[in-house]
Structure 1
Amino acid sequence: MKATVTPHGGLFGPESITWRIHTETPGWPAVLRAFQLQALHPRTIRGIAQNCLLDDPEVARARLRRQLDFVTVRTFGTCEQAEQAGERIRQVHARLIGLDTDTGVLFRIDEEENLRWAHCAETASYLELARRSGVPLTAAEADAYVAEQRRSARLVGIGDVPGDVAGLRDHLDGMRPHLAATEEARDALRRTVSPRLSFRLALRTPPLAFGSLPAAGALAFATLPGWARQMYGCRGDGAAGHAADLALRALRAAAMAMPDGLVEPEIRAARGLMRALAKAPGTGVAA
């Protein structure tokens, strides 16, 4: 589904902090960072691994692509498009179960704890990458972004999610005793930084795209919280984080300088509406 971008018909709009962040932040690193963080929740990653053939490179890449597409539709599309996309996801989640191999207990994929963790990991990832990419955000605007993302959470069936940065940080910290770098998590991480390409996928992939996913995955990993990298067995590396910041700022600068014809249609349309709003007298960004 292609998002239909309008000034007033969606969940957010040109005055929102969400549009600013999602038109300026590199999408692939944000999605991959969210997945790497989500994978540290044992039930979350087991539910994904047991219901999705992640060992198939085409399936794994398609899943990440669908997640990025869902973010695009709910961010820039109409309310109807966002609701339709959310309904599809709720229907898929409702019929899937996973097995907790530590306890032998079956669980629903749409358990609130799993969904809330996935939402918070994604929200934190987009916000972190926006800041590290150089998107100018005040503390109040960062809070506003977290609050706006409660609308995204409702699409997948959860309402009790943090509404500001402090609440988001508290949730992530509170979940740490329940997280672990399981075998499934480590395997998921490997697939984001060193994906295997099948022969069929390789034939359909433009040559310049071969290195894009590993590079984005490495960038994403370097921006994870220190405790998350340590769970995965990596010591804190300030140099890697600094290099990631420089790369992300360069990516953002290059993306913002691209001719409109080379920009994704939804991003191009959203930027046009934001520019028009900025030129109108007496307008500003909504908090």
Structure 2
Amino acid sequence: MSDVGLFGPDSVTWRVHREPIVTVGGLRSLYLQALLPRAVAGVEQNSRYRKDPWGRFQHTATYVATVIYGTTEQAERAGRRVRAIHAKMTATDPRTGERFRVDDPDLLRWVHVTEVESFMESALRGGLRLTGDEIDGYYAEQTRAAALVGLDPATVPASAAEVASYYERMRPELALTVDSAATGLFLTLPPLPYGLGLTPVRGAALGVAALAIGLLPTWARRLYGLPGLPATDLITSANALVLGRMLSAIPIEWISPLRRAAVRRIAASEAPSA
């Protein structure tokens, strides 16, 4: 039998991540992550994302795809690499002057939860139909991904209710700082390569950013100083559903070479031997 990796084709994880709209969820998660002052300070003081945002995006997308579709060894190797990088990094809390480690479990947990919840939210608003048990199954499966970056799976929310409770506990710690405001602006208007910023691509990129912002929880939009009106949620849901249905017509194997390789690997292992 071929190694199907951490999840496999029968998992909820594969169902969620076959929806191309989860890319918008990835952007949404960055807006959320920037609202935790220490998290955004750690990024601002250690990352080169402003100089090479698209390279950073590609590295992150490859990591996520490797964790989901790679073999167990490939996923674990990717996790070891991330842990080794984080272990070398520290940052200074701009509010207190305290030095902290970037691999602090509280920070890693925030990044993990905002990421997987954003993937789920974008997939659901984009038209994916899942039962409550399946949604909980996704969060439970994703504790395996959390373990790769150094988290104890037992400390990671493993259901929709636990994710909601986690957000409630974290909200008093969230704030719009100078760093988070600058990051939010950068995410909304990033530099585009090859002179594309002077073409209609700029409008399309701005539309994607607007959708990601609209998908944020009401409390997160208000922290950014944006309207948290019910109409925003209704309009965003309608736009997400249209985009989700349009993108779902694209074969995911065209978008994700790692998924294509995983499907071929599994199919080859199940083929009858001569």
The answer to whether the aligner puts 1:239 opposite 2:234 as a matched pair is no
Over the aligned positions, Cα root-mean-square deviation in angstroms equals 2.6
Matches of residues 173-188 of structure 1 in structure 2 within 5 Å? 173-188=168-183
**Quick check: 1:131–1:137 contact (8 Å CA) kept in 2?**
yes
Which of 85, 89, 92 in structure 2 is aligned with 1:96? 89
**Quick check: 1:7–1:13 contact (8 Å CA) kept in 2?**
no
1:255 matched residue in structure 2: 247
In 1: Cα distance, 2:95 partner to 2:252 partner: 51
**Quick check: 1:181–1:232 contact (8 Å CA) kept in 2?**
yes
SS in 2 for 1:45: helix
1:281 matched residue in structure 2: none
In 2: Cα distance, 1:191 partner to 1:76 partner: 30
Matches of residues 85-234 of structure 1 in structure 2 within 5 Å? 85-159=78-152, 160-197=155-192, 201-203=193-195, 209-234=201-226
Which of 49, 52, 61 in structure 1 is aligned with 2:54? 61
SS in 1 for 2:18: helix
2:272 matched residue in structure 1: none
Which of 32, 40, 56 in structure 2 is aligned with 1:45? 40
Name the stretch that deviates more: 261-270 or 79-88: 261-270
- How many residues end up aligned between the 2 structures? 265
* Structure 1 residue 195: Cα displacement: 1.3
In 2: Cα distance, 1:81 partner to 1:227 partner: 37
1:284 matched residue in structure 2: none
In 1: Cα distance, 2:79 partner to 2:168 partner: 27
* Structure 1 residue 181: Cα displacement: 0.9
In 1: Cα distance, 2:136 partner to 2:28 partner: 20
In 2: Cα distance, 1:268 partner to 1:23 partner: 11
SS in 2 for 1:180: coil
**Quick check: 1:29–1:216 contact (8 Å CA) kept in 2?**
yes
In 2: Cα distance, 1:241 partner to 1:7 partner: 43
SS in 2 for 1:48: helix
The answer to whether the aligner puts 1:32 opposite 2:27 as a matched pair is yes
In 1: Cα distance, 2:220 partner to 2:194 partner: 32
C-alpha distance after superposition, 1:223-271 (max 9, x if no partner): 1111111111112133332232222222222222235774433445667
* One-letter amino acid of the counterpart of residue 23, structure 1: R
* Structure 1 residue 209: Cα displacement: 4.7
* Structure 1 residue 172: Cα displacement: 1.1
* Structure 1 residue 91: Cα displacement: 0.7
In 1: Cα distance, 2:252 partner to 2:92 partner: 47
C-alpha distance after superposition, 1:20-77 (max 9, x if no partner): 0000241321111111101111000000011113443xx2232222222211110111
**Quick check: 1:100–1:107 contact (8 Å CA) kept in 2?**
yes
SS in 2 for 1:10: coil
In 2: Cα distance, 1:259 partner to 1:208 partner: 25
Structure 1 unaligned spans of 5+:
1-5, 276-287
* One-letter amino acid of the counterpart of residue 29, structure 2: A
C-alpha distance after superposition, 1:163-190 (max 9, x if no partner): 1111111111100111111111111111
* One-letter amino acid of the counterpart of residue 75, structure 2: A
SS in 2 for 1:24: coil
SS in 2 for 1:88: helix
Distance of aligned partners of 1:118 and 1:259 in 2 relative to their CA distance in 1, 3 Å threshold: closer
Distance of aligned partners of 1:90 and 1:132 in 2 relative to their CA distance in 1, 3 Å threshold: same
> TM-score, normalized by length of structure 1?
0.84
SS in 2 for 1:157: coil
Structure 2 unaligned spans of 5+:
268-274
* One-letter amino acid of the counterpart of residue 91, structure 1: A
2:271 matched residue in structure 1: none
